[in-house]
Amino acid sequence: MLRTRSGMTMTEIPHPPTFGLILAGGLARRMGGGDKAKIEIGGVSILDRVIATLSAQCAGMVINANGDPERFADTGLPVIADSVPGFAGPLAGVLAGLDWLAGQDNGIEWILSVPGDCPFLPDDLAERLHAARRKMGSGVPLACARSGEWRHPVIGLWPLALREDLRKALVEEDLRKIEVWTARHGIAVADWPDTPVDPFFNVNTPDDAARAQQLAAQMAGG
């Protein structure tokens, strides 16, 4: 029986079996390079925080990152590079994840993508994204998150059924903007409040990292 890393069987999770995709393939220019996912917030790396949050929601996880995969060996997770060259952005990471999932032939038809620089992701992310998608009807195959007035197109659900359409858009059309592609197919939006802490706060700069430390301390009651 398929189980999550937390030990739950997939029949105990109130949404279709979904694989987690952690997008850690960015260049981190505003941080001066390196892996933002390795930054420690509250004594725990952002990546470890993301893995802990997704482990109870997903059937398993895979990391999308370019360069040497060994730098993530301590996670014990598969690491896959973009299949489209030239750092083509998050859509290339999503396609890599869908290609990897298709190769597993495990019957799972959904991927939940999240950035590797969001330390405060909600523990009901997969459930609420699937609920938003179902509420919109069968003609809407995609879903993404929104907090306050900000939509987060990288944090969303992607069906295996759209894999080849996405490949065509990336390779033949050179399309890079997520929202242009998702608008073609229809996308549901699941809402979260952005206070007292935005669950999709992401660390792009040293100032963001300092702010995340403050938020983590507040959440811990320190």
122: in domain: yes
pLDDT at 85: 80
Number of structural domains in the chain: 1
5: in domain: no
pLDDT tens digits, 114-170: 999 999 999 999 999 999 999 998 889 999 999 999 999 999 999 999 999 999 999
Order of strands, edge to edge, in the sheet holding 142-147?
Answer: 79-80, 61-64, 18-23, 110-115, 150-159, 142-147, 187-192
> Would you state the structure tokens that stand for residue 178, as one six-digit string?
């997520």
> Would you state the structure tokens that stand for residue 161, as one six-digit string?
């059924």
End-to-end CA distance of the chain: 41
pLDDT at 139: 84
Region of residue 186 (phi > 0: left; psi between -120 and 50: alpha; otherwise: beta): left
pLDDT tops 80 at residue 27 = no
pTM, two decimal places: 0.90
Q: Count Cβ atoms within 10 A of the Cβ of residue 139 and give its class: 0-12 exposed, 13-18 middle, 19 or more buried.
A: exposed
2: in domain: no
Residue ranges of E strands in the chain: 18-23, 40-41, 44-45, 61-64, 79-80, 110-115, 142-147, 150-159, 187-192
pLDDT at 5: 47
pLDDT tens digits, 175-216: 999 999 999 999 999 999 999 999 999 999 999 999 999 999
4: in domain: no
**Helix 125-136 and helix 46-55, axial crossing angle in degrees, nearest 10:** 60
Residue range of the domain that includes 116: 10-219
pLDDT tops 60 at residue 13 = no
pLDDT tens digits, 64-123: 999 899 999 999 999 999 988 877 789 999 999 999 999 999 999 999 999 999 999 999
CATH (domain of 77): 3.90.550.10
pLDDT tops 80 at residue 14 = no
pLDDT tops 50 at residue 17 = yes
